[in-house]
Amino acid sequence: MEVAETIHEMRQRRRIQGINRVVGVVPTMGDLHAGHLRLVDFCRERCTFTIATIFVNPLQFGPKEDFANYPRALARDKAELERRDVDVLFAPSIDEMYPGGQSGHANVTVPNLGDELCGAARPGHFNGVTTVVTKFFQITQPDMAFFGEKDWQQLTIIKRMVQQLNMPVEVIGVPTCRERDGLAMSSRNRYLTREEREVAPALFQTLREVATHLHEGSTKYADLEESAANKLREVGFRPDYVAIRDPDTLRPPSSNQDPVRVFGAARLGRARLIDNIGVER
Ligand code: AMP
């Protein structure tokens, strides 16, 4: 595996592949776990040249969020990616990505979708994501890009961005990788204490209960959302939302809509956990 730390190096590696390779990119913030590696596996199965990126993007963190403390484990990550036969790791510095600083930097915005759900709790977050993903697409020129369904809203926004801005990239969603007890894998699970880790699977369980009610025909969305949020509160979470939404528009669905998706975000100790599941009725 080659490691490119500059845009110039990355572009050179990409350019020599020419047009004969199917190039895939897997953007990450590092501290890799099995969820990230599933994205890499998906990429390797579908592409002939796999690029992984590791960059903790300051633009997508709010001023009071965990940018400074976000887990970083570059040496271990490199070894994992090497073992998976990744062709190039692009791991730029902040200066390399934002040489003139972050304020005043050009910005890619996908209207509306980014204001819902996590966008309401994290203003500006998705602009940071779409901006950095656009930069990665410009730098790596991929044919395909792989994103996790764990971050469904992010995946939806990126698909919309690619479609509306005519980016020649196929965006592939990859199913969520979970711990044995159902907790969605996340770098932020490291923030949980042992006691909180025991409680954490309740987020997935609660979303599953909502999904079961929907599956059985309930259309009382507001009641289901409220009682799920209360359940999370009872076990120690501070929920941002539990929401039943259209999987594509992220808007509240009509009563006969099918499929729908159940989304949840809740704080537990220092961690903010998110999860979502699809429901067909
Ligand atoms: P992150 O490093 O958290 O920015 O995540 C990088 C990519 O990995 C994103 O596309 C995430 O949606 C995806 N990802 C993170 N956790 C999981 C998971 N548990 N299962 C599948 N994909 C994931």
Model confidence pLDDT, tens digit, residues 35-62 = 999 999 999 999 999 999 999 999 999 9
What is the location of CATH 3.30.1300.10 in the chain?
Answer: 187-279
Pocket of ligand 1 (CB under 6 A): 28-29, 35-36, 38-39, 147-148, 150-151, 174, 176-177, 184-187
CATH number of 2-174: 3.40.50.620
Catalytic residue among 36, 125, 213, 215: 36
> Which tokens go with 239?
């929920």
pLDDT digits (tens, 9 = 90+) for 64-121: 999 999 999 999 999 999 999 999 999 999 999 999 999 999 999 999 999 999 999 9
User: What global pTM score does this model have?
Assistant: 0.98
Q: Is the pLDDT of residue 19 over 90?
A: no
CA-proximal residue: ligand 1, atom 18 (nearest): 35
Do 134 and 59 meet the contact criterion of CB atoms below 8 Å apart? no
> Which tokens go with 2?
């080659």
On whether the 187-279 domain is CATH 3.30.1300.10, my answer is yes
What is the location of CATH 3.40.50.620 in the chain?
Answer: 2-174
Do 244 and 210 meet the contact criterion of CB atoms below 8 Å apart? yes
